[in-house]
Amino acid sequence: MIRLLYIGLLGQILLSCINMNDPRSQSEYIDYRDKFDKSLVKLFPDRLPNNMLRFEFSAPYENIPGRLNLMTKYFSEKEYNETKTKYLNQSKHRKMSDDKCLFLIDNYEGTNQKICHDFYPIPTNAIVETSSDGKSKNKSTDSEIFFIDLESGDFLQDNDKHSRQDLPVNWIHGYSTGVTTNDNNKTIQIWLVVW
Amino acid sequence: MVSSLVIPFYFMTKKIVKKYLILLLVYTVVVRFIGFYGLRLYYTLADDPKLLPATVQSFQAFVTAIEFTLKILVVIFMLIDVKGKKLIDWLIITITFFNADIGIVLFIVWAFYKEWPQKYEAQQQL
């Protein structure tokens, strides 16, 4: 009887090590990740983690930037803080989500965005939260943004014209990658935007 | 006299139970293990997993087709094996079509339950 219990316990431990994400989502994520240059997606894990909440992708098309987001949820305070500290140490800039100088690079609804002297491009989903019913979108006020890397230049190199004439001259092409953390929800979102 | 009546029936139930236990095992391995854990194990263990979404979709469609075939097979076996079907037999067959593992377990339990009064009566007569 005890032997059976041990076998059951061992089985449970082994099962907890398996990546339980839906294989189709997993293959889509890997496929999307591979669409970007490896140097741009260094922050993203090579497969979906078990604590994944959602991921989003959009391919670059004309003046629409390419984008990849991966949202993860932490249930352990310690693990969340360790991960956040890791990103904090890597970050070049740290901003709050209500900072007026954050530039939503893929937001065309309110195009009259303020462009500060220091340019901080981010994808809309990095700070805008959609309500559970999907009907309303609100800008997060309690999230922190860590810019891990941002650089101007043509990183897509697919011979398509992606230049953004509405941006400062040295930023007509570029990319920005970083993480958005939320202490209340214990979520960490890794994001990348390339144009 | 009585034991000669009981033994063939008991032997038949054992044979049917064995057959359905094998079917349950095959169904569990194919659908519950390979179908559910197969690709998940691949994505856990592979160093550099590279499967196109279309390939994953084809694999899942293949497993679904196998699952459907197994269900049909089990239902056909049940239709052949159950003589003089009652409402409960039809109910178990319907459950099997939608959820084969639960249906097979119910079928085995029902087979034992049906056998029990006859075995008990035989023992009483002895």
Is residue A155 within 8 Å of residue A41, measured between CB atoms? Answer: no
- Contacts of residue B49 in chain A, CB cutoff 8 Å? 26-27, 30, 46-47
pLDDT per position as a tens digit, B58-91: 999 999 999 999 999 999 999 998 888 889 999 9
Estimate the crossing angle of helix B53-81 against helix B100-125, to 10 degrees.
20
B46 to chain A: nearest residue by CA?
Answer: A47
- Contacts of residue B41 in chain A, CB cutoff 8 Å? 18
Number of domains into which chain B is organized: 1
Full residue range of the structural domain in which residue B117 is found = 2-125
ipTM of the complex: 0.78
Of B49, B52, B55, the CB nearest to A47: B49
Residue B12 confidence (pLDDT) = 61
Of B41, B44, B52, the CB nearest to A27: B52
At B2, the pLDDT band (50, 70, 90 cuts) reads: very low
What's CA A82's distance to the chain center, in Å? 18
Domain limits, chain A: 22-194
A17 to chain B: nearest residue by CA?
Answer: B44
Contact between chains at A26 and B57 (C-beta distance less than 8 A): no
In tens digits, chain A (195 residues) has pLDDT values of: 788 888 888 887 877 788 888 999 999 999 999 999 999 999 999 999 999 999 999 998 887 899 999 999 999 999 999 999 999 999 999 999 988 888 888 876 655 677 788 889 999 989 987 777 777 778 888 899 999 999 988 888 777 677 788 888 888 889 999 999 999 999 999 999 998
Alpha carbons within 13 angstroms on the beta-carbon side of residue A84 total 19
Of A18, A27, A34, the CB nearest to B56: A27
pLDDT per position as a tens digit, B35-64: 889 999 999 999 888 888 899 999 999 999
Residue A169 to residue A166: CA distance in whole angstroms: 9
* 3-state class (DSSP) for residue B95: helix
Contact between chains at A24 and B53 (C-beta distance less than 8 A): yes
End-to-end CA distance of chain B: 10
Q: How many residues in chain A?
A: 195
Within 8 A by CB and 6+ apart from A5, the residues are none
Contact between chains at B39 and A30 (C-beta distance less than 8 A): no
* 3-state class (DSSP) for residue B15: helix
Residue A36 to residue A68: CA distance in whole angstroms: 9
- Contacts of residue A28 in chain B, CB cutoff 8 Å? 53
Residue A114 to residue A120: CA distance in whole angstroms: 11
Residue B5 confidence (pLDDT) = 47
What residue type is B61 in one-letter code? A
pTM over the 0.90 mark: no
Cα A104 to Cα A18, A25, A123, A189: the distances in Å are: 37, 27, 5, 16
Contact between chains at B43 and A21 (C-beta distance less than 8 A): yes
Of B49, B50, B60, the CB nearest to A24: B60
* Residue-wise burial string across B34-43, b where 16 or more C-beta atoms lie within 10 A, e elsewhere: ebeeebbebb
Contact between chains at B56 and A23 (C-beta distance less than 8 A): yes
